[in-house]
Amino acid sequence: MTGEAVPFETPDLYGAFPRLTEEQIGFLADHGRRFSVEPGQVLIREGERVTEFMVVLRGSVAVVEDFGGPGERILRVHGPGRFLGEVGLLSGQAAFTTSQAREAGEILSAPVDRVRVLVARDPILGDLILRAYLGRRALLVGAGAGFRIIGSRYSPDTRRLREFAARNRLPHRWIDLEADQEAEAALRRFSIRPEETPIVIWRERELLRNPSNGELARLIGLTAPPTAEEGRCDVLIIGSGPAGLAAAVYGASEGLATVVMDAIATGGQAGTSSRIENYFGFPSGISGAELAELGVFQAHKFGAAVRVPAEATALAPDDGRYRIALADGGEVISRSVVLATGARYRRLDVPGIERLESTSVHYAATVYEAQQCRADPVAVVGGGNSSGQAALFLADHVPRAYLLVRGADLRAKMSRYLIDRIERHPRVKVLCNTEAREVIGEDALRAVVVENNLSGERRKLDVRALFCFIGAVPCTAWLAGSLALDDRGFVVTGAPARARAGPAAWEGHDRGSMPLETSLPGVFAAGDVRSGSVKRVASAVGEGAMAIHHAHEHLSHLATYAPSGPPLEPDGGHNTSADHREDGGDGR
């Protein structure tokens, strides 16, 4: 009977394998079909896109990694009442596992596109499915499922591929060319020489030699950049950190044809945070990766197109619109633009550090970096919240985390709740008035020489990894000469920006400039990339929403304005009815 577990079913220990109620199954059944399955029948095949949301009604289904290959193994088994798939199903990625019927039974199947609309109508069901899918993706990542990256720990390209996979939360496993015996066997099987690495292997049949990020994205089904023909929209959002994702959600929900793109991954700098504990609405904290995942799903729900990887290289006015050139040769034409490219952590000014950036020097502290450190001590440089969060997170994985702070104490730049936790943690050692002066190690870090900036005394810390969180550099090099930047490269907005605009830039615009508007009318900046912004996640989200309000105002002043696509009905898409907006009012 539906809802009864089978004896060998994988227990739901983490909330990733919930069972639907009879009412929820009935709700889905009104929009789907039932069909019988035989033992061994494949329902979802690894490497293929999934277009159907499936619920087990009778029998059981096994989730298998490397189906039919030498490493085949059953990851879990689902019985009646459980549903198949993981978060990639909602975003259009290829499946990372195969689902196969273990015995004769019955399946309820409904088109994924229809299910997206249905779960928007039923927030309880939608939250249940989304939370389960996010949990399943985390379990897949932890299990090392998915594709394999084989490469040297000393190779910059190996690190590039690993970071791209990690930032996009893609299930994968790294096989160290120097330390893993599996690497040699795999290279022999595919007739690959060590100097041809890194390589990516998927399903034992597909192999990429040192692929670009775009090639890897296409392999696993991440959305490709839009073509020139497709790339016409009301608002183009460049950068998908908290500001960019917020703008995508508000833009799409307000009926604008919205595209958000990012050169590397959704989440931005916040996406690399192990835990954000002072963000409103999450009293127990939330990881940056999960926050990004939720934001992407929400943007998809309202109809925004999310393009990763897609790198903007130039921005130029074009007959009342803006033409944005992409690194792959494509382009996007948009009526308005939101710049949300954020900032990246500044490189530590220590001689020789460049040679270690592919192995031992990191600018993020996620589970991937923690796994690489294993049981070795580490050093974290910086005195702000990011460095404090990183030190606490790493201290749960390593025997000692040194926090190197240039100032006299932590109170100048760090939140009180973090300071209290750091002071109580037995494996975090804070060294104030301390700066890194030298790194020791050729291929990998062996030690860091630090100096007390008051006494000049130097000492050596035996650490195997260095994490740097020492201030931000804006990602605006591609904008130089296109619009006004301040002396540090951040985008100037508001009246000061218009004052620096060229004489022809605002010709024909009979209105004042708006607070987030740049020196080009209809181009807005939000979040960390904006000059004078508050560098906090909540501020970035607010500015992303505010930028969409400005975009509406700009478009309403254009004589040629008409939305590129009609709003969807309130059952799960674009929506301009005040009754459905979160604040019951303007909503922008």
Mean pLDDT by 10 residues, the chain (588 residues): 66 92 94 96 94 96 91 93 92 91 96 83 88 91 90 89 90 90 90 94 90 91 55 91 97 94 90 82 86 88 89 94 93 96 89 86 84 88 93 94 95 92 96 96 92 96 94 92 95 95 85 95 97 92 97 83 40 34 34
Cα separation values, 57 from 5, 26, 80, 85, 297, Å = 11, 11, 5, 15, 27
Cβ atoms 313, 300 nearer than 8 A: no
Characterize 151-167 residue by residue with b for buried, 16 or more Cβ atoms within 10 angstroms of its Cβ, and e for exposed. Answer: bbbbbebbbbbbbbbbb
C-alpha span between 390 and 397 (Å, rounded): 11
The predicted structure's pLDDT at residue 503: 80
Q: Which residues contact 301 (CB under 8 A, 6 or more apart)?
A: 116, 120, 572, 573
The predicted structure's pLDDT at residue 40: 96
Q: Which amino acid is at 250?
A: Y
DSSP-derived secondary structure letter, 485 = B
The predicted structure's pLDDT at residue 231: 62
Exposure of 433 by Cβ count < 10 A (0-12 exposed, 13-18 middle, 19+ buried)? Answer: middle
- Backbone angle region of 504, left / alpha / beta, with phi > 0 → left and psi within -120 to 50 → alpha: alpha
The DSSP H or E segment spanning 40 is none
- The alpha-carbon radius of gyration of the chain (Å, integer) is 25
DSSP-derived secondary structure letter, 412 = T
C-alpha span between 496 and 356 (Å, rounded): 41
**pLDDT tens profile 384-430:** 998 999 999 999 999 999 999 999 999 988 999 999 999 999 999 99
Q: Is 126 helix (H, G, I), strand (E, B) or coil?
A: helix
* The total number of residues written for the chain in this structure: 588
Cβ atoms 275, 286 nearer than 8 A: yes
Pick from 564, 29, 495, 580: which is nearest to 334 by CA? 564
Cβ atoms 269, 387 nearer than 8 A: no
The predicted structure's pLDDT at residue 4: 58
Pick from 501, 498, 495, 514: which is nearest to 557 by CA? 514
Sign of CA dihedral 536, 539, 540, 541: positive
C-alpha span between 240 and 252 (Å, rounded): 14
Characterize 457-479 residue by residue with b for buried, 16 or more Cβ atoms within 10 angstroms of its Cβ, and e for exposed. Answer: eeeebebbbbbbbbebebbbebb
DSSP-derived secondary structure letter, 588 = -
The predicted structure's pLDDT at residue 51: 92
DSSP-derived secondary structure letter, 180 = -
